[in-house]
Structure 1
């Protein structure tokens, strides 16, 4: 049983390292409060707090798009730059449309997730298979030699 758990953890780690996992997680976390707060009725003691406004449809659309973009980041890494830029724009649009971007939770999480998606670079097979000591000692060309003139 312990071997199966270790194999599952290693398999998940390999899956996670081959895609922008954290960008998708932050994007998913951005969509949830944007979806939740316009339809929730919160109670703080005896004080009811209802954030349902006419912007509920806008919140629904933005939240569903953010969740869909998070899933696409996990399963279609090729669209990471498009998804990242779209997540950033949707997070910014959620500020005036969706109750201050899900009480700023969705806004900040969306900006972080979109930035991570744009910055993520897929791992290369050659660089990952080379030990760190060999990568550090490999000389890199500094430029062309023009014969000492």
Structure 2
């Protein structure tokens, strides 16, 4: 009874999560938090570390911002994914072995997931020429007898970002 009342909110959450590179952003935020938190040790340890902790904190904050950018501006996923991977790799050298390798590995994984994510393409509208002409062949590959139709291709390609027609 209680679960059925909250079902629309779960559907909204699921729709929001699937409409963006959620898991890549989550990995980037986790990597940034891990890299950022390690130098924020107690004051006694921080004083011994000196200015070496500043790049760690800055790189962690930038990775968190890039993960949030992937969530809230998914059209910037290419830049966010590449920068997350580069910063995670730089953290390996500049920040306690990239958060003892955990932050670097999470950052590289998150950057790759952000970069590789593609939005779902809208379903294609049915072709009106086929419906009007029932004798038209539905085979996209032309045979020797039928001339090649330049409007149809054997491998349909659509770009989900609308760059190509």
TM-score range, shorter chain: 0.7 to 0.9
Q: Partners in 1 of 2:95 and 2:89 — Cα distance?
A: 10
Structure 2 residues without counterparts, runs of 5 or longer: 126-137, 147-165
Q: Distance between the aligned counterparts of 2:53 and 2:144, measured in 1? A: 66
TM-score normalised by length of structure 2: 0.70
State the alpha-carbon separation in 2 of the partners of residues 63 and 84 from structure 1.
15
Question: How far 1:20 moved relative to its partner?
Answer: 0.4
Matched-pair contact (CA < 8 Å) for 1:19–1:74: yes
Which is helix-richer, 1 or 2? Answer: 1
Aligned residue among 102, 105, 123 for 2:102? 105
- Secondary structure of 2:51's partner? coil
SS of corresponding position for 2:38:
helix
Q: Which has the higher strand share?
A: 1
Q: In the alignment, what sits opposite 1:60? A: 57
Residue 120 (str. 1) matches residue 117 (str. 2): yes
| 1:8 shift after superposition | 1.5
Q: Distance in 2 between matches of 1:53 and 1:95?
A: 19
Q: How many residues align?
A: 132
1:40–1:52 contact (8 Å) kept in structure 2: no
Higher-Rg structure is 2
Bigger RCO (CA 8 Å, 6+ sep): 1
**How do 1:62-101 residues align onto structure 2 when only pairs under 5 Å count?**
62-101=59-98
Contact 1:39 1:52 in 2 (8 A): no
What RMSD over aligned residues (CA atoms) do the two structures have, in Å?
2.8
TM-score by length of 1: 0.77
The answer for unaligned runs of 5 or more in structure 1 is 42-47, 130-138
Deviation sequence 1:61-110 (CA, Å, 0-9, x none) = 10110000011100101110101000000000001111000111110000
